[in-house]
Structure 1
Amino acid sequence: MNNPQIAFFQSIKAVLPEYQNLALSIAEELGISTNEAYKKIRGDSNLTFQQIIKLSDCFDVPFLYSPKQSLSVTFSYLSVNEDLDMIGYLQNLLDNIKAIKNSNHKHITITTDDIPLFHFFKYPELTRFKLFFWANSTSNLEIPFSASFLSDEIIKISQELHATYLEIPSTEIWSKDTISGTLEQIRYAFEAGHLSDTELAVKIVEQVRYCLTDMNMYAISSKKTIDPNHTFNWYNCDVLGSIAYLVDFKDRMTCYNRFNTFNYLRTEDQAYCSQTKKWMQGLIMKSVSFSGQGEKHRNKYLYHAFAECDKLLNEITNG
C-alpha cells in the first residue's frame, strides 16, 4: 500500500471494537462531518499535521511514513521504567491485548524460547516469581522473594491478560529448550537464597507443570477454550533465533520484538511485518506440529519437560 494515510486509517480500524464505526469515530474525534471523514479515509482529502497527531493520540496508533522507500523502521517502546512500574506496564500490555481481541480479524503467532507470559499469568505464585525474577534482572536489585511479592492488583491484571489471550486465535512455536529457561530461573533463585521457602519453591515448579498440562489440552483440541474460534496451533522448532509476536489483522500486521528480558519494541511497518511473517512461515515448515494429530511428538516433548520438573523438585526437597 503506497498511501500512508489510507494505511493509517486501516491501522485505526483494526484497533476499534467490532461495533464501532470507523467514519463516525473519526468524525467525532476531529469535529468534522461523516462525509468528510469518509473522504479522508479513502485518501481523497488530506489530513492536517494536527489531525494526524490528534488521531494518533486518541487511538494509540502511529502514523508511519518512510521517505523514498527507506529501510528504516519506526518502533514504539513498551517497557518497565526504572521505578519498576509493573502495574503501568501490565495495564499497557492489557490494553494492547484487549484491542487485538476486539478486532474483527486477528491471529497471533509467537516464536519463543521461554514460556509465553500469558500462560503463567493463570497461576499467582508462578506469576509473582517470574515478575520478581525479571524485576531483579532489570534493576540489579538483590531482593528476596516471598509469596506476597507484588500486589493483588498486579495479579488481577495478569489473570485478565491470561483470560484475554485465550480468546485470541494463536500459533506458538517453541524451541526445544523453552521450558528450561523458567526452570533454571527457579533453580538459580533457590540455590542463591532468593527463594528460601521450600514449600513455595515446590508450588512454583508444580505450577510450571500445570502450564504444560494446559498446553497439552489446548494442543489436543487445537483450541484454547470451548469456543471453536479460539484456535490454537503448537509447534516445536530446534532453532528459533529470536522472541517475536506477530499480530495479523488480515489487512495489516503489528510486530512485537522482546528485548532486555521482558520489554518490547512494537512496529506497524508493513514491510518489516511481512518479512517477519515469511520468516515465521519458514520456521513452521521446519517445525514439528504438536497440535491435533501430533500426539507422538507432543508426548515425547512433554515427557522430557515433566522429567526436568521432577528433577528440580527432587533437588529442592532433598537438598
Structure 2
Amino acid sequence: MQEQFIKYLKEKSQNNTSFVDEIADVLDIGYDAAYRRINLKTNLSLEESVALARHYKISLNKLFEVGSSNSIVTELPPQPKNEKALEMYFKVSLQNVLPLTKLKSAEIVWSGKDISLFHTLTDNHLARYKMYVWLKDLDLEMAKSQISFDDWSKTIPDSLLESAFALGSVYKNVNISELWNDNTVTGTLQQILYYFEAGLVSKDIALKICDDVHEVINQTEKQTIEQSIGSPNNNTFFHLYKCDLHMLTNTVMVRTPHKKVFYSPFTVLSYFKIEHQDTCEMMNDFLNKQMSNSKLLATSGERDRTLFFKTIHKKISIAKERINMDYKMTFL
C-alpha cells in the first residue's frame, strides 16, 4: 500500500529538484528520515499520510483503496453555523467553482429538489431570505431568538452579501445542466409561508420575496431558451431538463475531463464530498439515465416548455393569494 502511495505522490510532484527534499519539507523531518519512508524502510504514520494527501491535494480514498471496495472516504465542507461561518461557506464554495471556469469542458449537474444557488444568490429579497432560513436552521442562537426577517435583513454584514453574490455570479462562466420537476419551487414557497404564518416575515416583504421567485423563474425560462446563463459570448451552456420519473435530491455532480466529484446532501447546506472515482461513475451514470428519461426544455417544444413554467408560476401565485388571505383574516 505504501509503495503504491509513494509512487502516486511522485507522479503528482512538481518538484524539479529532489522528491526526498520535498517530502522532508512537507513532513518537517530530516532528509534521511524522508529517504527511509520513500524507500519503504520506515512506515508512514496515518498523520503523515494525511499531511501528504493534503499537500498534494489528492483524495484520501487513495490511502485506503486496498481496503473494502464497499468503503469510501468522504469530506465535509465548512459548517455554516453562524453568519461568519456562512460567509466562509460561500468563499470556500467560490474557490471550488473558480477552477471550473478555466476548463471549457467542465460541467456542473444539479438534481433540483430545490432551486439551486446558481439562480438565487443575486441582489434581491429572496437571496437574503434564503440566508435567514439557513441560519434559523443552523445557528442555535438565532434559532432561539424571535428576530424577524425584516429586522435581521437590516443588519446583514456587507461582507456576507458580497461573498454570496460573488458565488452566484461565478456560475455564469460554467457549463450547467439542471434537472427540475413541478415541485422544485415548492420548498422555497413553503419556507416563505412558514415564517410568514409564524409572524417572522411581514406581509409586504413576503409578497416581495414571492415576486423575486417569479423573477427567478422568468429568468430561468429565458436562460432555458437561450441555453446560456451568462452572455452568449462566454461559450458556456445551460440545459434544463424536466424530470418526471425520479425523485430529485439536490445532488451536485462536477464533471471535468480529468475526474468527477459529486456532493450528496445530508443536512441544510451540508454535503458529503465524494471523490472515489468508481462511486462517482455510478452517480454519473444515474444522472445521465435521469436526463435521458427527461425532457430537455430547450428542444422539447414551446408548448411543453410554456406549460412547465406556467405551472410553476401558478404555484407562486397561489402562495401570494394565501399570504393576502391570511392577512385579511386577521382581526384588528
TM-score band, normalised by shorter chain: 0.7 to 0.9
Gaps of 5+ in 2: 23-37, 328-332
Aligned to 1:166: 172
Q: Are residues 1:64 and 2:68 paired?
A: no
Contact 1:115–1:179 at 8 Å: present in 2 too? yes
Aligned to 1:20: none
Q: 1:237: how far off?
A: 1.2
| TM-score calculated relative to the size of structure 1 | 0.81
| TM-score calculated relative to the size of structure 2 | 0.78
Q: 1:108: how far off?
A: 0.8
Q: Are residues 1:230 and 2:236 paired?
A: yes
Q: Deviation per CA, 1:88-141: give whole Å up to 9, x if none.
A: 111111111112223453111111210001210013321111111121122451
Gaps of 5+ in 1: 13-22, 34-44
Aligned to 2:149: 145
**Aligned partners of 1:292, 1:27: CA distance in 2, in Å?**
51
Aligned to 2:75: 76
Contact 2:80–2:88 at 8 Å: present in 1 too? no
Q: Are residues 1:240 and 2:247 paired?
A: yes
**Aligned partners of 2:39, 2:98: CA distance in 1, in Å?**
30
Q: 1:258: how far off?
A: 1.5
Aligned to 2:32: none
Aligned to 1:109: 109
SS of the residue 2:199 aligns to: coil
Residues 168-177 or 240-249, more deviating: 240-249
Residues 95-104 or 123-132, more deviating: 95-104
Q: Are the structure 2 counterparts of residues 75 and 9 from structure 1 closer, same or farther at C-alpha, using a change threshold of 3 Å?
A: farther
**Aligned partners of 1:118, 1:51: CA distance in 2, in Å?**
38
Contact 1:190–1:201 at 8 Å: present in 2 too? yes
**Aligned partners of 1:64, 1:139: CA distance in 2, in Å?**
32
Q: Are the structure 2 counterparts of residues 314 and 275 from structure 1 closer, same or farther at C-alpha, using a change threshold of 3 Å?
A: same
Q: 1:277 aligns with which of 277, 284, 289?
A: 284
Q: Deviation per CA, 1:205-238: give whole Å up to 9, x if none.
A: 1111111111111110112122362101101112
**Aligned partners of 1:7, 1:247: CA distance in 2, in Å?**
23
SS of the residue 1:259 aligns to: strand
SS of the residue 2:61 aligns to: coil
**Aligned partners of 2:115, 2:288: CA distance in 1, in Å?**
20
Residues 264-273 or 103-112, more deviating: 103-112
Q: Percent identity?
A: 20
Contact 1:128–1:149 at 8 Å: present in 2 too? no
SS of the residue 2:265 aligns to: strand
Aligned to 2:31: none
Residues 227-236 or 112-121, more deviating: 227-236
SS of the residue 2:249 aligns to: coil
SS of the residue 2:149 aligns to: coil
Q: Are the structure 2 counterparts of residues 63 and 274 from structure 1 closer, same or farther at C-alpha, using a change threshold of 3 Å?
A: same
SS of the residue 1:251 aligns to: coil
SS of the residue 1:73 aligns to: coil
